[in-house]
Amino acid sequence: MREKEFSLRRKRLWENLRGKEVDAFLLLNVEGSEQPNIRYLTGFTGTFAILILSEESFFLTDPRYTEQAQGQVDLPVLEVRGRWIPQVIARLMDLGVKRVGIGSTRTTLHLFEELRRAGEGMEFVPVGAPVEEMRRIKSEEEIQRIRQAVELTEAGLHWIVSRLRPSKTEREVALALEFWYRKEGADDVAFDPIVAGGARSAMPHHRAGDHRLRPGEIVLFDIGVRMDGYCADITRVVALGDPDPEVRRIYKLVLAANAAGISAVRAGVSGRDADTAARRLLEAAGLAEHFGHGLGHGVGLEVHEGPRLSQTSEDLLVRGNVVTVEPGLYFPGKFGVRLEDLVVVEEEGALILSSFPKEELWVVGGKR
């Protein structure tokens, strides 16, 4: 079943590239640079791979991965040793191609120039990000994998919150959570877990450090696991004992913005308009300057991919997109609140994949 899925994706990609008037498409995964795209088109999970897509297609890798590729990839697998660029050029010449399309968002200028020098008589044509464009729309099977990642992410959050106590460091909490995820079957964490206590919650991408959690402060968790290659990404805030009333007030504002953003998400809405729906509530409260990032982003084989939901977005949401909705308010030196859900874009609205309680600030060891 999976082999058919990969074959259909490659066929669709090749049809999409017809308008570029290329004879072949070259995807170069050099130590992970194109790993998500290679996995999407072939199922291969290693860090070095080359896909030549044409009327006759080939998969190339080095001796570290030959056996693995033969078990994962439904294409002829060729082994390259030593200087691989001349060997790729030789294969392209054997196919008789003249114009070779190449993804231009991840391929370095250095590598592009190396290919041009080696492929005398060939034209290498930048074709943008055709695989990433395909990846924006998730199949039902992909959505199910993301849902499983969300479920495990939230199970871990329940587990860690029930054990949350003052005196633990952010790093200790993050490591305990990551270990639990690995033990319970996650491939990996989708990104370094953000565990931010007190004033550190005002830094949107804080790295868990040596700060010891204290009674009365809030703890922001931005977490996600990767399951079968697919990512989850959710954010929740809990309080260690009774928080300041101002924290509760800000929490309610962010919760309302989160709800407004989710309500705005549906097929046909622009990423900018979805962002505006949430942002206007914070602007009305006079707090727009404290919401400095976009409302959300796509999630799939990568935790940050298209489409984008922001004031600078030029994306239009379509059925099958999976995006975050994550408004936040940040007060440097004091605290920050962000609430993030993962949703599927449907014709009439958003299907919410995340379900961890958020209707009120979760208090550990105090009054709710």
Task: Give the per-residue pLDDT at 233.
Answer: 98
Task: Give the per-residue pLDDT at 100.
Answer: 96
Phi first, then psi: give them for residue 355, nearest 5 degrees.
-140, 5
Tokens of 17: 């590239």
pLDDT tens string 253-290: 999 999 999 999 999 999 999 999 999 999 999 999 99
Q: How many other CB atoms are there within 10 angstroms of residue 77's CB atom?
A: 21
pLDDT band at 18 (very low <50, low <70, confident <90, very high): confident
Task: Give the per-residue pLDDT at 114.
Answer: 93
By C-alpha distance, which of 16, 92, 83, 18 is closest to 51? 92
Q: How far apart are CA 352 and CA 341, in angstroms?
A: 7
Give the CA distances from residue 319 to residues 18, 104, 246, in Å, rounded to whole numbers and listed in that order.
24, 26, 38
User: Do 346 and 353 meet the contact criterion of CB atoms below 8 Å apart?
Assistant: no
Task: Give the per-residue pLDDT at 158.
Answer: 97
Q: How far apart are CA 250 and CA 336, in angstroms?
A: 9
Alpha helix stretches (DSSP H) within 222-368: 245-264, 271-284
- Residue 29 per-residue DSSP state: E
Mean pLDDT score across all residues of the chain: 95
Q: At what angle do helices 140-161 and 170-183 cross, to 10 degrees?
A: 130
85 contact partners, CB below 8 Å, separation of at least 6: 114, 115, 118
Phi first, then psi: give them for residue 326, nearest 5 degrees.
-140, 70
Work out the average pLDDT over 293-304.
98
pLDDT tens string 337-360: 999 999 999 999 999 999 999 999
**Amino acid in the structure at residue 148:** Q
User: Do 344 and 322 meet the contact criterion of CB atoms below 8 Å apart?
Assistant: yes
133 pLDDT higher than 90:
yes
The rounded Cα 149 to chain-centroid distance in angstroms is: 12
pLDDT band at 367 (very low <50, low <70, confident <90, very high): very low
Q: DSSP string of 267-318?
A: TT-BHHHHHHHHHHHHHHTT-GGG--S-SEEE-SSSSSEEEEESTT---B--
pLDDT band at 14 (very low <50, low <70, confident <90, very high): very high
By C-alpha distance, which of 1, 26, 228 is closest to 118? 26
Work out the average pLDDT over 317-331.
98
Tokens of 352: 């919410």
pLDDT tens string 65-111: 999 999 999 999 999 999 999 999 999 999 999 999 999 889 999 99
Give the CA distances from residue 139 to residues 16, 22, 297, 321, in Å, rounded to whole numbers and listed in that order.
18, 27, 18, 9
Give the CA distances from residue 277 to residues 252, 273, 282, 327, in Å, rounded to whole numbers and listed in that order.
16, 6, 10, 11
Task: Give the per-residue pLDDT at 269.
Answer: 98
Phi first, then psi: give them for residue 110, nearest 5 degrees.
-60, -50
Task: Give the per-residue pLDDT at 368.
Answer: 42
Work out the average pLDDT over 321-325.
98
